Structure formats: C-alpha cells, structure tokens
C-alpha cells in the first residue's frame, strides 16, 4: 500500500473499461486523473487486481464475467477485490478474528468463482432467504391489515366507537410499535433473528386471536397495544437478517419484493375476507371476529414453521431436518467472500454480538443519517392517512361491505407495479434522491384533485378511480431502507439505524392516524388540504438531502486529497473513525 497514487480516491461508481488485453472495472468520476488505468494491473485477461485503490464504501455489483464456466474461467473473473493487497487482507483478517466473525474460516482473499456459479447461488438465496423473508412479512401484514377489512364489517359500531376512537386506538398501537423497535433490535442481535422473529410471530398471533373475545373499546385498545408491542422491531430484524446474505445493491431489489408482498397479502386476504365476513352469526360471532380468528391462526402457523425456515447465517444452516445444511462448502465460501468484498465491514461484528446503549447513542447523534430519517417522517404521511380509511371511503360511496374487499385489489396491483419499477430504476441508474422525487410529485397532483375537484367523493366511479390511483402510488420505502443501510457503512450502525428509521416511519404513522377526524367526514376536506401541503414538502427535503450528501462527499474528498499517500495508508489502518464518518467512504444520494 505504500505506492498508493495521489490522485486515486474512493467512490461509489464504476465503469467498464476495455484495454488491449482485458476488460476490467475501474472507479470513475471527475476526481480521477488521466492515469487511472495505470493503477489497474492486468495479466492478459487472467486476474485483474486493484492494488492501488483504497478501501471504499461500496463495490460495484455489475461485475464482468466471461461466459465460460470452465475451471480456467474461475481464475478469469474480473472482480473488484479490496483484499487483493495482502496487507489489506491481513488487516481485515485480524478484525474478523477479534470479532469472532462466523464466516472467518471461509474468508479467502484469493478465492474466485464463475458467473454461472454466482447466478445459480443467487437463485438459491432468493428461494431460501428472500422468499422466506417475504413469507414471514406476510404474517405481519395479515395481522396488521385485517383491521382495515374488519371495520368494513361494522366493527366500530359493534364496539360503540366512532372514527376518532379508531384514531386513538391506532395511535396507541403505533406508539407501542415504535417504543418496541430498539428493545426488539437489541434482543434480536443478542439471541439471533432466527430465534426472536419466530417467537414474535407466535406471540402476536396469539394476542390477535384474542381480539375475537373483545366487546368494548377498552378491550380493543388493550389487545392492539399488546400487538403493537410484539410486532415492533420485526421489520428491522428481518432486514438485518437479509443483509447477512445479500450485497447492498441486491438488498434494495429484495426489499422491493418485501413490500410488494404487502400488496399481495392484501389482495389475498381481500378474497378471504369476502368469504369470512359472511360468517357473521355462526356460533354467535360477528364476521370480523371470525376474520381475526382464522387469519391470525394462519400467521401463528407461519411463526411456528419459521423456526425451521430461518438460519443464523450462511455458514450455520444445518438442522435436524437438514443435517447437510443449505449450501455446499464452496457455496458458503462464495457467499462469505462476495459479501465481504462488497462491504468489508460486514465481518467486524458477529451475528450474536449484542449492542450496547453507547452504540445506540452514537447512531442517534450521527447527524449524517438524519436527512433520511426526516424523509421517513414525511414521505408516508399521506398514504398512511388515507389507506386505513380506504374501505370506509368506499363504504361512504355506497359500495357493499362484501364488494369493498374486491374493490381494493386494483390499488394493490398498481402498488406492486410502481414499487418494483421505481426500485429497479433507482438501482439501474445508481440514483436515489431524484428517483424518489417521482413519489411526492405524483401524490401532490392526485391529492390536489381529491381536495379541489367538485365531484370528489360525490361521483361514485370517478372517485373510486381517484382512490385507486392514490393508494397505488409509487412507494419509496424499499429504496429508503436500503439507503439508510448503505449509508451506515457498519453492521453495528446498520442494525440500529434501521430501527431508528423505522421509528420515524411509525412516528409519521401516528401523525397520519390523527389527520382525518370525525367532524371532517365524509369528504375530509380539511385533512386532504393538510396532506396536500405535507406531500409537496417532501420535494425540497429530497433535493436538500441530495445537496447535503454531495457537500459532505466534497468535504471528505478535500480532506482525503490533503493527505500524503503515507497518511492515507496510516488512516486506513489506524483511524478510529467508524461507519460513515470515515474519510474513505462516500454517501449514496
């Protein structure tokens, strides 16, 4: 590392460069000088090594592989490898050893594999991990989403409640959910998400079934508070578990599947509710009570089998049902090394190492992540206000309680389409802030029509179409969750920052829950006026966030350029800066 070039800086973007003898990936950007290619060692297309490029925040996932799957090709993979320099490799090996990292035995800086191997393994990871995460998330949505269906069956009237009472109950639920975020994250990190997540699911399913025994507002409030306390932290825990298997770029796309599952579940449960709500009167129970019983037993069953579906890590997959584990030894090596080359910090803490209050405090005062927290606070208020009232709005338009369940399906289909498109476009163009801008522009326009069009909530079918267009809006939650994760630059920071971000989202939910009031129905003109202004407020927030991260990257670049090569080398190995505070890190924006 002593011959480190003066004009090479860490960056997040890479370009494919063709030279006389090989293809390779090198960092690109205005800060790179014309002699960048001179720092790329090539061995006539064999193994391309980047000895002079310092440790960077993110490795490109768009790696160039040759098409052959021969043994020779396994040595021909042009992969950006931060451990190509033996000094760097040894430095990180010591870190991983001190952290008792579970994948240490598989850490091999010179290990290579083919594109066909990686593609096949990624399919297995999608099946074993990503789809399982979606399946588990479905259980959460079953228990959270069935309330919206239940109120279309006169739940409020049966319990002697009005919409203000409904808001109060939801506020208590969300407050308990929010307060449970960090304690749940701490417990998950200590005993492992593969143990804590199934326990959470079984406990909240039991309490959810108990909702069938309530007869008053008080009982409803108590059960919703307990459910909120047990569900808190579940999403953050599951995202942390996913990060043990996927690279940063892959995680964003998998998170889009994650939240697409939300709409898939809503579509499925809408069909179920269409039939279950017709059971009103059987054994003297209301239809909404049968809904809670049947759907929550389903989520409890998912919780029980999740003990077998989840594993601690890619190198700890053996169980009594699968004594040989999920992966071969070679596949385990590929997973471990591709993760560490994408983000070396993923090995600086083991998967059962508990977090301390000091760790929480350090993340809380990390002002560089607060812009994304603020986005989480503002971005979802409009949809979180409108969505719980969607079925009530359709009821006010004159649709029957049974047809309402089916009429919610088009909005969920539109939601899935928009979610997958905006997430894919963001990853394709390596752009976050500007892609996210599409969401507030879209919602502001639609809210303006809902608020000021004279026929809004009067003309039945045009109003229904407006509701579908609004509920199916572009959802940027998957992008923002990945954004927080990537800008954390540390497993320890990432675990807490994910929980903090979700706390801000739940705080936004609490605000949203109290915008539509009983004295403003059925058109909710006052509430929609407030939502209109909250919606456009996100536009300058996103632009300022991008400007802030550009400014911070320039600050870091200026400090980095002021160092001599020897100072940079000393900084890389000896600096006490961690996470996104490191000068050899660049923020995604």
First to last CA, the chain: 29
Top pLDDT among 214 and 448 is at 448
127 shares a domain with 42: no
The share of the chain scoring above pLDDT 70, in percent, equals: 86
In whole angstroms, give the CA distance from residue 513 to residue 527: 11
Q: What is the mean pLDDT of residues 158-170?
A: 87
**Residues 30 and 134 reside in one and the same domain:** no
Chain segment 30-62, per-residue pLDDT in tens: 333 333 333 333 333 333 333 333 333 333 333
Residue 65, in any domain of the structure: yes
What are the beta bridge partners of residue 23? 18
Same domain membership, residue 80 and residue 120? no
Q: In 3D, which of 20, 27, 64 has the Cα closest to residue 43?
A: 20
pLDDT band at 262 (very low <50, low <70, confident <90, very high): confident
- The answer to whether 568 and 560 are in contact (CB under 8 A) is yes
- Domain contains 473: yes
Give the pLDDT band (50/70/90) at residue 12.
very low
Q: Which residues contact 361 (CB under 8 A, 6 or more apart)?
A: none
Report the distance separating Cα 481 and Cα 74, nearest Å.
34
Among the listed ranges 53-57, 184-188, 464-468, which one has the minimum average pLDDT value? 53-57
Map residue 416 onto helix, strand or coil. helix
Same domain, 74 and 121: no
What is the predicted pLDDT for the residue at 285? 84
Buried b (16+ CB within 10 A) or exposed e, 191-226: ebbbbbbbbbbbbbbbbbbbbbebeebeebbbbbbb
Residues 11 and 139 in one domain: no
Number of Cβ within a 10 Å radius of residue 364:
15
Q: Tell whether 225 is covered by a domain.
A: yes
| Packing angle, helices 181-191 and 491-513, rounded to 10 | 150
Total domains, the chain: 2
Place of tokens 């809380």: 364
Specify the pairing of strand 14-18 against strand 23-27: antiparallel
Please count the CA atoms within 13 angstroms of the CA of 13 that sit on its side-chain side.
13
* 584 within domain boundaries: no
Look at the block and give the residue holding tokens 């058109």: 523
Of the CA atoms within 13 Å of residue 472, those in its CB half-sphere come to: 22
The structure tokens listed for 352 are: 């059962």
Grouping H, G, I as helix, E, B as strand and the rest as coil, residue 9 is coil
258 with 142, same domain: the answer is yes
Q: Are residues 80 and 120 in the same domain?
A: no
Residue 529 lies in a domain: yes
pLDDT band of residue 77 (cuts 50, 70, 90) is: very low
pLDDT of residue 178: 87
- Range name among 24-33, 358-367, 447-456 with the lowest pLDDT average: 24-33
Question: What domain range is 494 assigned to?
Answer: 116-552
Domain membership of residue 390 (yes or no) is: yes
CA atoms within 13 A on the CB side of 311: 21
Q: Are residues 440 and 504 in the same domain?
A: yes
Q: How large is the average pLDDT for residues 558-586?
A: 79
Same domain membership, residue 336 and residue 204: yes
Q: What is the pLDDT of residues 214-231, one digit of tens each?
A: 888 889 999 999 999 999
Q: Does 548 have pLDDT greater than 90? A: yes
Phi and psi torsions of 50, nearest 5°? -115, 75
Same domain, 67 and 143: no
What's the CATH number where 346 sits?
1.20.1250.20
pLDDT at 314 over 70: yes
Given 60, 84, 108, which residue is the final one in a domain? 84
Q: Is 504 exposed, middle or buried (0-12, 13-18, 19+ CB in 10 A)?
A: buried
Coil, strand or helix at 330: helix
Take residue 453 and report the two structure tokens written for it: 């069009």
C-alpha torsion angle, residues 299, 305, 308, 312 (rounded to 10): 20
Q: Rounded to an integer, what distance in angstroms lies between the CA atom of residue 384 and that of residue 392? A: 14
- pLDDT bracket for residue 540 (50, 70, 90): very high
Do 55 and 164 have their domain in common?
no
Same domain assignment for residues 23 and 151: no
């Amino acid at each position: 590392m002593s011959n480190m070039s003066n004009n090479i800086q860490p960056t997040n973007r890479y370009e494919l460069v063709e030279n006389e003898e090989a293809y390779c990936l090198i960092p690109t950007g205005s800060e790179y000088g014309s002699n960048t290619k001179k720092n790329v060692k090539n061995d006539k297309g064999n193994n391309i090594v980047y000895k002079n490029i310092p440790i960077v925040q993110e490795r490109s996932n768009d790696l160039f592989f040759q098409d052959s799957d021969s043994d020779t090709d396994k040595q021909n993979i042009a992969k950006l490898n931060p451990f190509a320099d033996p000094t760097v490799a040894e430095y990180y090996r010591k870190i991983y050893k001190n952290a008792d990292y579970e994948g240490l035995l598989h850490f091999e800086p010179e290990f290579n594999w083919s594109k066909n191997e990686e593609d096949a393994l990624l399919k297995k990871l999608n099946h074993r991990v990503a789809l399982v995460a979606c399946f588990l998330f479905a259980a959460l949505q079953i228990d959270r989403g069935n309330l919206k269906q239940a109120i279309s069956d006169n739940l409020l009237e049966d319990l002697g409640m009005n919409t203000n009472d409904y808001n109060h109950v939801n506020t208590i639920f969300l407050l308990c959910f929010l307060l449970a975020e960090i304690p749940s994250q701490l417990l998950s990190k200590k005993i492992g998400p593969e143990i804590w997540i199934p326990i959470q699911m079984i406990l909240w399913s039991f309490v959810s079934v108990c909702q069938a025994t309530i007869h008053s507002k008080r009982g409803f409030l108590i059960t919703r508070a307990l459910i909120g306390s047990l569900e808190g932290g579940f999403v953050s825990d599951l995202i942390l578990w996913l990060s043990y298997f996927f690279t940063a770029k892959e995680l964003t796309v998998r998170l889009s599947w994650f939240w697409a599952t939300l709409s898939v579940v809503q579509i499925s449960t809408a069909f179920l509710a269409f039939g279950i709500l017709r059971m009103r009167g059987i054994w003297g129970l209301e239809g909404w009570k049968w809904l809670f019983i049947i759907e929550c037993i389903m989520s409890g069953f998912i919780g029980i089998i999740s003990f077998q579906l989840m594993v601690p890590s890619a190198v700890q997959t053996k169980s009594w049902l699968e004594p040989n584990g999920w992966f071969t030894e070679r596949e385990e090596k590929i997973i471990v090394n591709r993760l560490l080359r994408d983000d070396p910090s993923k090995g600086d803490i083991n998967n059962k190492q508990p977090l301390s209050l000091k760790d929480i405090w350090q993340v809380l005062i990390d002002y560089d992540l607060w812009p994304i927290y603020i986005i989480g606070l503002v971005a979802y208020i409009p949809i979180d206000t409108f969505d719980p009232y969607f079925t009530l709005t359709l009821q006010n338009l004159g649709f029957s309680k049974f047809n309402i369940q089916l009429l919610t399906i088009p909005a969920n289909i539109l939601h899935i389409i928009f979610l997958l498109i905006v997430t894919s476009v963001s990853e394709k163009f390596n752009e976050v802030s500007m892609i996210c801008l599409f969401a507030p522009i879209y919602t502001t326009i639609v809210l303006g029509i809902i608020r000021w069009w004279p026929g809004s909530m009067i003309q039945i079918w045009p109003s229904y179409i407006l509701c579908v267009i609004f509920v199916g809006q572009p959802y940027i939650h998957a992008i923002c969750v990945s954004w927080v994760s990537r800008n954390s630059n540390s497993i320890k920071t990432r675990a807490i920052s994910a929980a903090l971000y979700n706390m801000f989202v739940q705080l936004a939910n609490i605000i949203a829950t109290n915008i539509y009031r009983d004295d403003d129905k059925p058109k909710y003109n006052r509430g929609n006026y407030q939502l209109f202004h909250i919606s456009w407020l996100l536009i300058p927030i996103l632009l300022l966030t991008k400007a802030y991260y550009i400014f911070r990257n320039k600050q870091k670049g200026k400090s980095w350029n002021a160092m001599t090569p020897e100072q940079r080398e000393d900084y890389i190995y000896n600096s006490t800066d961690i996470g996104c505070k490191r000068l050899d890190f660049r923020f995604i924006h």
